[in-house]
Chain A
Amino acid sequence: AQTVTQSQPEMSVQEAETVTLSCTYDTSENNYYLFWYKQPPSRQMILVIRQEAYKQQNATENRFSVNFQKAAKSFSLKISDSQLGDTAMYFCAFTRLGGSQGNLIFGKGTKLSVKP
């Protein structure tokens, strides 16, 4: 069975600084996707970034980038130039190809607070 682990329940960062959120996963699959979702206080889940396992290049979306280490099964999220609006719960998620395709497995989340 696949599992996703986020080892940092809470983190804080000063506005304009950089922060990295950790995520590790366990799977025997070779083809899969990894995601980071953001859940602000409004509780809506918002996709931040995704990574295809077969791509070696790390995904980047504006101030958000990932460090994907497939051999280590690690998928960390780096937020640069942190903004107050980045304050939210961040969830790492995994889905495999084939079978029950599209079913996301989530970590327990990291609560990020951006301080002015």
Chain B
Amino acid sequence: DGGITQSPKYLFRKEGQNVTLSCEQNLNHDAMYWYRQDPGQGLRLIYYSQIVNDFQKGDIAEGYSVSREKKESFPLTVTSAQKNPTAFYLCASSPRGAANQPQHFGDGTRLSIL
């Protein structure tokens, strides 16, 4: 079955450490997205990529970095510059240029600070 796989499900970060969240999709979607979800807040867009080797900042990109070397993969790195990284992170994908296609979501990664 096609879908989006996020790993790990739970992740702990030490102070000053960079950590990378994995997102892989086999839906053949061009576009991929990273969202952050905090309690009492809606999902907020961190980064998105409409095509391989290209990505754009979302609303809260500071302290995060991404790469898009393959169509199937869109890893998110939470850097030490992100001072409040504790949150639930959701990856999504969609066909490019198709606003009428809803985004498909992974099961998420919960990141906590040690």
In the assembled complex, which residues on chain B have CB atoms less than 8 Å from the CB atom of A46?
A: 105
Closest Cβ neighbor of A97 among chain B residues: B99
Q: How many A-B residue pairs have CB under 8 A?
A: 67
Do A44 and B107 have beta carbons less than 8 Å apart? yes
In the assembled complex, which residues on chain A have CB atoms less than 8 Å from the CB atom of B94?
A: 102
Per the bound structure, the CA–CA distance linking A107 and B33 in Å amounts to 17
By size class, the interface of chain A is 20 to 34
Question: A50-B102, A108-B41 given as contacts; is B48 within 8 A of A103 (CB)?
Answer: yes
In the assembled complex, which residues on chain A have CB atoms less than 8 Å from the CB atom of B31?
A: 102
Question: A107-B42, A108-B40, A108-B42 given as contacts; is B96 within 8 A of A102 (CB)?
Answer: yes
Do B100 and A104 have beta carbons less than 8 Å apart? no
Per the bound structure, the CA–CA distance linking A106 and B58 in Å amounts to 13
The B84-114 residues at the A interface (CB cut-off 8 A) are 88, 90, 92, 94, 96-103, 105-108
Cross-interface CB contact of B107 among A43, A50, A100, A107, cutoff 8 Å: A43
Do B99 and A102 have beta carbons less than 8 Å apart? yes
In the assembled complex, which residues on chain A have CB atoms less than 8 Å from the CB atom of B103?
A: 45, 102, 104
The A89-109 residues at the B interface (CB cut-off 8 A) are 91, 95-97, 100-109
Say how far A69's CB is from chain B's closest CB, in angstroms. 20
Closest Cβ neighbor of B88 among chain A residues: A43
Closest Cβ neighbor of B93 among chain A residues: A102
In the assembled complex, which residues on chain B have CB atoms less than 8 Å from the CB atom of A44?
A: 105-108
Interface presence of A4 (CB below 8 A): yes
Do A35 and B97 have beta carbons less than 8 Å apart? no
Interface presence of B60 (CB below 8 A): no
Interface presence of A64 (CB below 8 A): no
Cross-interface CB contact of B43 among A9, A42, A91, cutoff 8 Å: A91
Interface presence of A47 (CB below 8 A): yes
Per the bound structure, the CA–CA distance linking A81 and B90 in Å amounts to 30
Interface presence of A86 (CB below 8 A): no
Interface presence of A15 (CB below 8 A): no
Q: Give 6 A-B pairs besides A44-B105, A45-B92, A100-B48 with Cβ atoms closer than 8 angstroms.
A: A43-B108, A52-B100, A91-B42, A96-B99, A97-B99, A104-B103
